[in-house]
Chains A and B, each alone.
Chain A
Amino acid sequence: MKAPIGWLAEHADLPTDLDPRALADALIRVGLEVERVESGAEDISGPLVVGRVLSFEDEPQKNGKTIRWCSVDVGEDEPRGIVCGAANFAAGDLVVVSLPGAVLPGGFAISARKTYGHVSDGMICSVRELAIGDDHQGILVLPADSAKPGADALDVLGLREAVLDVAVTTDRGYALSIRGLAREAAAALGVAFRDVEAALPPADGAAYGVVIDDRSGCDRFSARALTGLDPAAPTPEWMARRLRQCGMRPISLAVDVTNYVMLETGQPLHAFDRTRLRGDLHARRARAGETVRTLDDVERALDPADMVVADDTGPVAIAGVMGGASTEIGPTTTEVVLEAARWNPPSIAYTARRHRLPSEASRRFERGVDPEIAGIALQRCVDLLAEHGSASPVAGYTVVGSPPAAEPIRLGAALPAATAGVDISRPQVVAALQVVGCAVSGDDPMLVTPPTWRPDLTHPADLVEEVLRLVGYETVPSVLPPLRPGTGLTPAQQLRRAVSRAVAAAGFTEVLSYPFVAPAVHDALGLPPDDPRYDALRLVNPLSEAEPELRTSLLPGLLAAVQRNLGRGNRDLALFESGLVFLRDPDAPPPPDLTVLRRPTEDEVAQLYAAVPPQPRRTAAVLCGARRVKTWQEAERPADWSDAVDFARVVARAAGAELTVRAAERAPWHPGRCAELVLGDRAIGYAGELHPRVVAALDLPERTCAVELDLDAFPAPQPARAPRISTYPPVLLDLALVVDEAVPAAAVLHAVRDAAGPLLESVRLFDVYQDVQRLGRGRKSLAFALRFRADDRTLTVEEATAARDAAVAAAGLATGAALRS
């Protein structure tokens, strides 16, 4: 809502020397968001004057255009010659001329220049060139006799006046009016407020026949009528100027008056050409199949939820949103019916959005309009049309429907102070409530009746806010609540932090990718057709039609991040992400339809929670390029499958758990280089090198590796048990076993560890090699370093050797391992 300060001053006793910025600050303090204080003169410098077009010649050009070579009186001794491309003016019209030396908004400097064979000694301006409107269909023609040639056009256009631009929140419909903003300004500055007033005729129902068929959509419909309007009567310049200042375009007197009064009072109004109406006006829902051609000349199919104004022929307006073309005020209209109705806010919001037709009217109806302002608004229209359009009021005033009166609210006198934590006396409370228009009676609790323009005030807390914003939020002191003992992070939260730190310390860099994925990515990952990862939740309104699904795996997002980094020349990558994936639960119930008037029952809460899809937390990583770059000491080591498995082990160690690893086949991994990660007896993830087809399909570097595991699977770590530390010396023995190359190293290690007994302190595999000559084809040698130690004595080599021999025998039985000769 834009509000010229001069207009506000008509309703609030603003100090004459008030700095517009100070007024804006005062409004901000009471909770109005003043986005800008603007003045049309800010971006204009140099001579901008009123001119009278004395005469002109139309001159067709080779390029098909016709220009006008005008003689314009700008209050100097001689008229100036000016070239103009527009044709919407006549000789004798008053226009705005920027003379050489002027600079218009956007840094547009005017100079005398040669164009179309003339020297144009200035420019005739359009509203867009002056940045006071968007209309570019011609130049700005001022009302006849509104100024003298040579007058300062900035003054004539009111461009020097400051205009506040206020963003109005959804609860404050009343602030979408000069009336409402002036009331706030008066309250903020502590000065007197004068409401819009008018003497109303008795409501006799005689202005025009009106029927409300659907009272849920319309609770009051008022009408007045006029006759003998001069359709050619111009809009007075002061009114046109204010409309422009408020960002609206002057159109015709009848339309401009309804817009002007809407800005003034907050009541949207509509003017019908009475001669084009057939029968009574009905406020009703649209019927199936009905259409209406709106003022913007679009034929619109109506929805049975839309409220319309209809006559005997059908809908003549989409109620509260936009009027219809068939009954529009036109250049010959002399008979006028004025409508001022009050429509149901949600209904208007729905209709405006469904038709994508947000309008000045719908913005106000959506936020709620004062039910008692309609009569005054109509009277203002009648008076203005009579004064400026020679119209005569038709006797009679139609008012149908009676909106419910506001209920008084019981407010404990101490509640504002108790809420704010600051002393606020009862007289302060009463004064603040009266300033916003409430009637206050009773002692404690007070009975507070909100004013008709404040439908948002329905609860004591709403009144508390009114009191606090007028007393001033800045009076609230800064006090910490009493300290209380807490329980800190949950074990799961601690685990997550530990994992994040551990993998970062292990050289992985975190990314946080979007969860939106393309269905095709699952094909690229080579998932089998029945893979549950295909079964993703879909967004109704994705940002990109290409990515409508929610991720069922973290890998697509990570792989996209890899590609983005590669595109920027970052080649050696080890990226990780922890986050939720989104799964579909086919057995999930639909969410229950719950009220907010009471707490849902336990069953309802359980059903509500069950309706929310499962969203387990995963952690995943992708590696490509060098895991260790070449240094002066070491050769480069490319990332490989083992780095992916090690990521999982780092995660598990941070979580205080140990994973077992076994070979597996699973997309999108290489079938011979994929490890299943097992915790207890549950597979919680996979790691390894990506399948070459996946690498090719996603255009990834060769041998890209990946790992993904379920972070929720790790139980809360238990307190670790301390080992007994033996101080006796160890016996160190090496052991080389030859097995078939298909035997997993883990199986051999397992057998060795189990059979070596309690004297075995640790075992470490330190070498693997194959050598056809020495080991035979299809055989491999695994070398282990064994460390034996006893708790209670110095171990002899013989004892350790016996334990090792037992391990060799067991490994032989379990895996066919033979001691390397």
Chain B
Amino acid sequence: MPQPNFDPVEVAALQPEAIEAEVTTALKAIAAAATLDELKTARLAHAGDRSPLALANREIGALPPAARKAAGQRVGAARGEVAAALTARQTELEAERDARVLLDESVDVTLPTDRNPVGARHPLTTLQERIGDIFIAMGYSVAEGPEVEAAWLNFDALNTPGDHPSRELTDTFWVESVDSGLVMRTQTSPVQIRVMLEQQPPIYVICPGKTFRTDELDATHTPVFHQVEGLVVDEGITMAHLKGTLDHMAEQLFGPGMRTRFRPHYFPFTEPSGEMDILCFVCRGRSVGNPDEPCRTCSNEGWIEWGGCGMVNPRVLAACGIDPERYSGFAFGMGIERSLMFRSGVADMRDIVEGDVRFTAAFGMES
């Protein structure tokens, strides 16, 4: 009969077969744990203090010394295997749980997000800025002046004869009285006169602004409209420079390949003077003599009238104290509304002036 106190005892729990069976049971339970809670239960059952392997571990001390090492290794390896399986399953289940939480938190990202009120700038404002920037980039300054203006600056200094019909009440708004000498400026040209009175050449200015004529509002006219005029006075300025400048402006505003054409015309402020046409922005001239591609915008002319231009009349330079023998200059002007109609396809002038928010909103911050 063996002596339990000092004889090695055959412990059933430490038999390799028993340990192997326990490991198999544990791994099966761990794999079967579908939730973190079930895994916790499995951990207690198979890796806890009272788990078969923990109990087996305690029995090792009862073995004869010669058998302890092998049994210790066996139980240690088994516990390690179970612990690794637990950790792996724990990681797996946590990842599944996290994924489920994020899925539960998902939203409909297509819901509207436009909480903040949306504003817009008027396209006439942004177009004037854009034109200003084209010229700023060429070294010009933006010049401005008052809208109620001295008639001398609006007419006389621009070489408009004293009896010119444009001065009449039928064309020009007079302020206070017909002999007040004050008008609502009919053009932005008085700004050019102010510039020439205030500085000597070289002068490179662009003058955008509001102008006024006694036209009733309709689809193509408005009594309050916007113009942009340019003025250059320097040594050696020629009409070729005028043409180059306007061609550049046309390309910048309307796209590559756009260009201008001059036709002789009469303006008191300039001599020689010209009407300025721009290549039709719809057909770009393709409709000319081409019945297959008719163009309603330019009536198959290929060109559209855009503004007026010319070389500054030497009489105007002299009236401003600039030596016409030394300096020459060019000037040009065009309507902003008309340019906007070209650029953005505005069909009716009233849409531009009536202040309907739906019109302006379509242009956003920069047109």
Residue in B112, B116, B146, B245 whose CB lies within 8 Å of A481: B245
Q: Does A633 belong to the interface (CB within 8 Å)? A: yes
Partner-binding segment picked from B24-32, B86-94, B170-178: B170-178
From residue B160, how far is it (CB to closest CB) to chain A in Å? 9
Decide if A512 touches B162 in the complex (CB within 8 Å).
no
Q: Does B311 contact A (CB under 8 A)?
A: yes
Residue of B nearest to A345 (CB): B163
Q: Which residues of A contact B255 (CB under 8 A)?
A: none
1/0 per residue B179-198: CB within 8 Å of A?
Answer: 01110100000000000010
Q: Are A539 and B244 in contact (CB under 8 A)?
A: no
Q: What's the minimum C-beta distance from A298 to chain B, rounded to whole angstroms?
A: 20
Q: Cβ of B357: which chain A residues have Cβ within 8 Å of it?
A: 509, 511, 565, 570, 573, 575
Q: How far is the CA of A503 from the CA of B315 in the complex (A)?
A: 45
Q: Which of B15-23, B77-85, B132-140 sits within the interface?
A: B132-140
A465 to B124, CA, bound (A): 34
Q: Check if A599 sits within 8 Å of B197, measured CB to CB.
A: yes
How many A-B pairs have beta carbons closer than 8 Å: the answer is 281
Q: Which residues of A contact B121 (CB under 8 A)?
A: 500-501, 504, 510
Contact B240 A346 (CB under 8 A): no
Please determine whether B152 and A628 come into contact, CB atoms closer than 8 angstroms. no
Q: Is A543 an interface residue (CB 8 A)?
A: yes
A199 an interface residue at 8 Å Cβ cutoff? Answer: no
Contact at A539–B174, with CB atoms within 8 Å?
yes
A461 at the B interface (CB under 8 A): yes
Bits for B150-163, please: 1 = Cβ < 8 Å to A, else 0: 11110011010111
Is there an interface contact between B243 and A612, defined as CB atoms closer than 8 Å?
no
Contact A580 B146 (CB under 8 A): yes
Category for how many chain B residues contact A: 35 or more
Check B314–A461 contact: CB distance below 8 A: yes
CB neighbours of A613 from chain B (8 A): 146, 148, 175, 182
Any B CB within 8 A of the CB of A568: yes
Chain A residues in 8 Å Cβ range of B176: 537-538, 540
Chain A contacts for B248, CB-based, 8 A: 480
Judge if B59 is at the interface, Cβ distance under 8 Å: no
Q: Name the residue in B141, B150, B320 with the highest tally of chain A Cβ atoms < 10 Å from its Cβ.
A: B150
Contact with A along B94-134 (1 / 0, CB 8 A): 00000000000000000110111111111011000100100
Which A residue's beta carbon lies closest to that of B147?
A580
Q: How far is the CA of A470 from the CA of B365 in the complex (A)?
A: 47
Interface stretch of the complex, out of A59-67, A202-210, A418-426, A723-731: A418-426
Residue B48 interfacial (CB < 8 Å)? no
Residues of B within 8 A of A57 (CB): none
Q: Is A490 an interface residue (CB 8 A)?
A: yes
> Does B272 lie within 8 Å of A469, measured CB to CB?
yes
Complexed CA–CA distance, A572 and B117 (Å): 10
CA distance A591 to B243 in the complex (A): 37
B218 to chain A minimum Cβ distance, whole angstroms, is 12
The 8 A CB mask of A472-493 against B (1 = contact, 0 = none) is 0110111111011111111001
Collect the chain B residues with CB atoms within 8 Å of residue A490's CB: 141-142
On chain A, the residues within 8 Å of B118 by CB distance are 507
Asked if A478 and B243 sit within 8 Å, CB to CB, the answer is yes
Q: Which residues of A contact B159 (CB under 8 A)?
A: 596
Contacts A481-B245, A540-B174 given; does A591 touch B142 at CB 8 Å? no
Q: Are B240 and A478 touching (Cβ within 8 A)? A: yes
Which residue, B141, B184, B272, B311, has most C-beta atoms of chain A within 10 A? B272
A565 to B355, CA, bound (A): 8
Q: How far is the CB of B164 from chain A (nearest CB, A)?
A: 7
Interface status of A605 (Cβ within 8 A of chain B): yes
Which stretch in B1-9, B37-45, B61-69, B256-264 binds the other chain? B256-264
A615 interface hit (Cβ, 8 Å): yes
Stretch at the interface among A139-147, A164-172, A378-386, A693-701: A164-172
Q: Indicate whether B169 reaches chain A with its CB closer than 8 angstroms.
A: yes
Q: Is B274 an interface residue (CB 8 A)?
A: yes
B163 pairs with A349, CB closer than 8 A: yes
A495 to B46, CA, bound (A): 76
Tell me if B13 is interfacial: C-beta within 8 Å of chain A.
no
Contacting pair B321 A353 (CB below 8 A): no
Q: Check A515 against B147 for contact (C-beta < 8 Å).
A: yes
| A746 part of interface (Cβ distance < 8 Å) | no
Contact between B355 and A511, CB atoms less than 8 A apart: yes
A462 at the interface (CB under 8 A from B): yes
**Contact between chains at B315 and A459 (CB < 8 Å):** yes
The residue of chain B having its C-beta at the shortest distance from the C-beta of A507 within the complex is: B117
A564 contacts chain B at the CB level, 8 A cutoff:
yes
Q: Are B239 and A419 in contact (CB under 8 A)?
A: yes
Whole-angstrom distance between the alpha carbons of A460 and B216 in the complex? 40
Q: Is B358 an interface residue (CB 8 A)?
A: yes
Contact A540 B175 (CB under 8 A): yes
Query: Is B76 interfacial (CB 8 A cutoff)?
Result: no
Confirm or deny: A394 has a beta carbon within 8 angstroms of a beta carbon on chain B: no
Pick from A169, A540, A561, A582: contact of B265, CB below 8 A: A169
List, in ascending order, chain B residues with CB within 8 A of A540's CB: 169, 173-178
Give CA–CA (A513, B273) in the complex, Å: 33
B168 at the interface (CB under 8 A from A): yes
Contacts of B50 in A (CB 8 A): none
Tell yes or no: A16 within 8 A of B by CB.
no
Q: Give the docked Cα–Cα distance between A449 and B112 (Å).
A: 77
Inter-chain contacts of A418 with B (CB < 8 A): 238, 328
Task: Encode A141-179 as 1/0 by CB contact (under 8 A) with B.
Answer: 000000000000000000000000000011110000000
5 intermolecular pairs with C-beta atoms under 8 Å apart: A29-B264, A33-B265, A473-B261, A565-B355, A631-B114
Instruction: State the 7 A-B residue pairs at the shortest beta-carbon distance, nearest first.
Output: A31-B264, A421-B238, A507-B117, A421-B240, A599-B321, A511-B355, A465-B272
Chain B residues within CB distance 8 Å of chain A: 111-112, 114-122, 124-125, 129, 132, 136, 138-142, 144, 146-153, 156-157, 159, 161-165, 168-170, 173-178, 180-182, 184, 197, 202, 204, 210, 214, 216, 223-224, 232, 234, 237-241, 243-245, 247-248, 259, 261-266, 271-275, 311, 313-315, 318-321, 328, 353-358, 360-361, 365
For the complex with contacts A349-B165, A514-B223, A582-B148, 20 further pairs of A-B residues with Cβ separation under 8 Å are A29-B264, A171-B266, A346-B161, A421-B238, A421-B241, A422-B238, A476-B243, A478-B244, A479-B238, A480-B241, A504-B365, A506-B117, A512-B355, A539-B173, A550-B148, A561-B354, A565-B356, A591-B181, A596-B315, A631-B112
A interface list, Cβ under 8 A from B? 28-31, 33, 169-172, 345-346, 349-350, 353, 418-422, 459-462, 464-465, 468-469, 473-474, 476-481, 483-490, 493, 497, 500-501, 503-515, 537-543, 550, 561, 564-565, 568, 570, 572-576, 579-580, 582, 590-591, 594, 596-600, 605, 608-609, 611-613, 615, 627-628, 631-634
